[in-house]
Amino acid sequence: MIGFTDASLAVAVIAQADPGVEVDIGATGGLLGGAISAFLTTLVVGAILIAIRPEYTDRMMGNVLEDPVGTFAYGIVSLIAIVLVTVLLFVTIIGAIVAIPLALAAYLIWAVGAAIAYLAIADRLVGRNDDEWFKRLLVAAALSGALALTGVGGILAICIGAAGFGAVLRDVLE
């Protein structure tokens, strides 16, 4: 008869032979996926902005370039406030109904703002040639993807996104 310690040993040996859990700790796939996602998001959102509202996009780019510190501060403070309000709303059961649309709206405004900020940077890097948006859009998307690919560039990407987010929110709220 197998005793308690013998049974425990048998279970441990079987678990070690095939634990059934595979752990992949490679960071390359996550960084590459994030870089592709950042590239495509900036490319698609930027293309939509340019196609639908080129004057607005140009004006917001000007706001980011004229006052980068102010738009960044406005964006960071707003982002922190939105996150806190969303978390507080999720604590209550009824507030979750409001928190989900708030979080989705904030994400969409963030995507628009970040695309505008990257376009503003690309505008400074490439310049304007006969109001050609295509080159600036590709440079903006490549810059966004490159920052996400480095991993450490994520902090800079948050700062760039916050500046655009702040410019868009300031325009909407004022």
pLDDT in tens, 107-142: 999 999 999 999 999 999 988 776 688 899 999 999
**φ, ψ (nearest 5 deg) of residue 128:** -105, 130
**pLDDT per residue over 7-64, tens digit each?**
444 444 444 444 454 545 455 567 788 888 999 999 999 999 999 999 999 999 999 9
Model confidence, pTM: 0.79
Q: For residues 74 and 167, give the distance between their C-alpha atoms in angstroms, rounded to a whole number.
A: 8
Identify the pLDDT of residue 29: 60
